[in-house]
Structure 1
Amino acid sequence: MKLSEHPVAMPALARIPALVPIDVPAEPPTPVTQPFMPPLEEFVPFLETIWSNRWLTNSGPFHQQLERALEEYLGVPYISLTSNGTTALWLALQAMKVGGEVITTPFTFVATAHALRLVGATPVFVDIDEEDCNLAPAGIEAAVTDRTSAILPVHCFGHPCDTAAISRIADVYELKVIYDAAHAFGVQTGGQSILRQGDLSVLSFHATKVFNTFEGGAIVSPDQRTKSKIDRLRNFGFIDDTVMARASINGKLNELQSAFGLLQLRYIDDLIARRGEISARYHAALADIDGIAPFTIGGGATLNHSYFPILVSEDYPVDADALCRRLQAAGILARRYFHPLICDMPGYRDLPSARQPLPVARRIARQILCLPIHPNLSDSLVDRTIDILSHG
């Protein structure tokens, strides 16, 4: 019997609505970030291969190719692709058997702290450094107790953490270090990938990131044994078809997303270069505006310009919140990353560390504002943003 002759199939198919055009405003707002979409015709051969081999998930050929291609591009030993960055964090914490108390930052996206709670660990928030918005090493060491099992720093905005100081503390107190490197794709210090630091590093390939696979993520491992453990954990904990070592989740990336990632890699150098041009344009224009302070990260770091954060101080005519509203009213969708702090959100106020002063993190959260930066952004829209800031 043909599908068209099936007594149930046709009524069901008839209920699927036809695609309708989506209205796009003549002048759409300018988002704070936006994914790069390669030419559609370049994605079609990948789709044709997937349609032909019918391998949609479970470590297919594109998945395997993307892992190898990312290892080579990033200069890291081993990569395990995952369905998203939060899943990657959860898997990394599980692989390292992290529990007890974990020192982390309140100035980040909530997924960092959520992953800790989801594995049964207790986040311990400590203050950040005003130069880069990352965990302050002195605060880390002061927070270590006999219940501390690990440190979960974040390379905030892609600014590299003080990995040498964090490594020293971890060695002294025998702590695991798992880096939330969601913003740090391609970032280097001393000519080496920042992703090689710590026990594990975790990436996000969300649509808002420098490199994206629609949704997705990855874990960077130092050796094959650790990668194999993570690969088992992302596949329900199975060792082979019949042996399951421990209960886990389905955290795999599928073939469509892997193929999109392979296509993204063809353009990534140009995309990061364009972000660098926009960042330089902002820096040059904002340098002389009182009360507006862009971040300048030194130390020989190679940045990816994933965000363009500024601090709006008391010397500026309005505060960061008012300036954000002014930009948004003009169609420029600046964002207050990261305000409020995680420790000030209802789901985390119960923690003792949430009631600590955290003076630097709280001040930066009051003053922070991220301006639009992405490869699709034109110079004229950058200049329009600058013009609004320059007139207070």
Structure 2
Amino acid sequence: MINVTKAYLGNKNKFKAYVDRIYNTGWLTNHGPLVTALEQRLKDYLGVRNIILTNNGTIALQIAYRALGVTGSAITTPFSFVATTSSLQWEGIRPIFADIDPETWNLDPNQIERHIEPDTSAIVATHVFGNPCDVERIEQLARQHNLKVIYDGAHAFATCYQGRSVYNWGDISTLSFHATKLFHTIEGGAIVTNDDDLAERVRLLCNFGIVDTDQIEGIGINAKLNEFSAAMGMCVLDDIELILECRAEIGQRYARRLGEHFDLQKPQPESQGNFSYFPVALADEQQLLRSRAQLNEIGINPRRYFYPSLDTLDYLQPQAPQPRSRALSRKVLCLPIYPGLPRKVQEQVMQTLIQESIHSTQSNRILFRPLVEAFGLLSGDQSPASECKRIS
């Protein structure tokens, strides 16, 4: 089955050489030399001041809330992976959903202010599919209401806004280096901040609050990345430009063909994306389910992201319904995109989606014609195309 993504494994001989080093030193975890080296390389590559590696992206979010002292409630997006919200609830912070921008699919700054409550202490926004949020508007709102800003940047590796990594905005950005991501460490994640004091607090929280062998400063947890994961990260980072180039080639091909038939996510102005995913908004959920079934029949497995809309989850109720997110979540399908995806498969994906869209449109016209005729809107030998034009 061709899945929506495929983990990039890099050069096997390079990985084995790193593993040999691990065997030689016997240093497996606890801030080993490969973890230290990878942090430095990522800091340089991303152009950020501090990056702290973690063992997954979800715990990176939890530590971010702790480090910033987030309590009470936080304004967040309903259109994201569940961890964005479940991590808040897990930490005893009440998620309050604000709806999304209908074009960028990110948290809509115009919706944030109306949902702020007396106990709200933070905004938790996601750069959805790597598309940067409106970081300047969010920063303005945060200053006005004395709120912390955390960005879930799980999809945004190598994404730039105004020529810089999008991780340079907000108090903290969190990353996921899960095997499905374009840059990965098998399992892993990271926290980015340009505040040195905050970075030191994060490091303590990631290591049980241990300052040194004789001193523990406050509560912490184990969030450290191991050396084997760092070895994989070193190998993948060696090829990151090739990975980005291959993804861009596929994504641009999809966009040229499918943009004529479907709604696509609108890029944030002044941004450079990474094609970490390629989402398509189909006409409705029925078309999505039909298209997915047809692709499954030929061995291609696209994924629904993000479904369901998080404001519908039982354990988060009561919540005010967020209609844009709910509508979008029912019709977005993410298509296969990764280095090495055969051109033939790309063509099959596009052809299947386009044919289903055309078939659905024709079927709707046939079903709609008796209704039009019943109201006496047709005369003579008008074509279906002119019928639709006249009705609109």
| Within-5 A mapping of 1:294-333 | 294-313=264-283, 318-333=286-301
Q: Which residue of 1 aligns with 2:68?
A: 96
Q: Which residue of 2 aligns with 1:219?
A: 191
Distance 1:181 1:288 in 2: 29
1:237 counterpart = 2:237: no
Shift of the alpha carbon at 1:298?
4.8
Q: Which residue of 1 aligns with 2:103?
A: 131
1:264 counterpart = 2:236: yes
Structure having the higher helix fraction is 2
Q: Which residue of 2 aligns with 1:370?
A: 334
| Within-5 A mapping of 1:1-392 | 29-289=1-261, 292-313=262-283, 318-348=286-316, 350=317, 352=318, 354=319, 356-392=320-356
- Give the 3-state SS of the residue equivalent to 1:202 in structure 2: strand
- The answer as to whether partners of 2:7 and 2:181 remain within 8 angstroms in 1 is yes
Distance 2:268 2:61 in 1: 28
- Give the 3-state SS of the residue equivalent to 2:185 in structure 1: coil
Distance 2:170 2:269 in 1: 19
* Residue deviations 1:323-355 (CA, integer Å, cap 9, x gap): 22222222111111011112212222x2x3x2x
- The answer as to whether partners of 1:107 and 1:342 remain within 8 angstroms in 2 is yes
Distance 1:152 1:296 in 2: 21
| TM-score normalised by length of structure 2 | 0.89
- The answer as to whether partners of 1:34 and 1:376 remain within 8 angstroms in 2 is no
Distance 1:141 1:386 in 2: 40
> What amino acid is aligned across from residue 37 of structure 1 in structure 2?
L
- The answer as to whether partners of 2:133 and 2:268 remain within 8 angstroms in 1 is no
Distance 2:351 2:18 in 1: 43
Distance 2:130 2:8 in 1: 18
- The answer as to whether partners of 2:311 and 2:322 remain within 8 angstroms in 1 is no
- Give the 3-state SS of the residue equivalent to 1:246 in structure 2: coil
| TM-score normalised by length of structure 1 | 0.89
* Residue deviations 1:12-56 (CA, integer Å, cap 9, x gap): xxxxxxxxxxxxxxxxx1110111111211211101110000000
- The answer as to whether partners of 1:36 and 1:376 remain within 8 angstroms in 2 is no
- The answer as to whether partners of 1:324 and 1:336 remain within 8 angstroms in 2 is no
Shift of the alpha carbon at 1:124?
0.4
* Residue deviations 1:245-289 (CA, integer Å, cap 9, x gap): 222210000011111111111100110111000011111111333
> What amino acid is aligned across from residue 63 of structure 1 in structure 2?
V
> What amino acid is aligned across from residue 310 of structure 2 in structure 1?
I
- Give the 3-state SS of the residue equivalent to 1:252 in structure 2: coil
Q: 1:170 to 1:72 in 2, by over 3 A?
A: same
- Give the 3-state SS of the residue equivalent to 1:319 in structure 2: helix
Consecutive unaligned residues of structure 2, counting only runs of 5 or more, are 357-392
Shift of the alpha carbon at 1:227?
1.3
Q: RMSD across aligned C-alpha pairs, in angstroms?
A: 1.3
Identity %: 40
Distance 1:94 1:135 in 2: 22
> What amino acid is aligned across from residue 276 of structure 1 in structure 2?
A
Q: Which residue of 1 aligns with 2:359?
A: none
* Residue deviations 1:157-208 (CA, integer Å, cap 9, x gap): 0010000000000000000001000000010011011001000000000011
Shift of the alpha carbon at 1:224?
2.3
- Give the 3-state SS of the residue equivalent to 1:153 in structure 2: strand
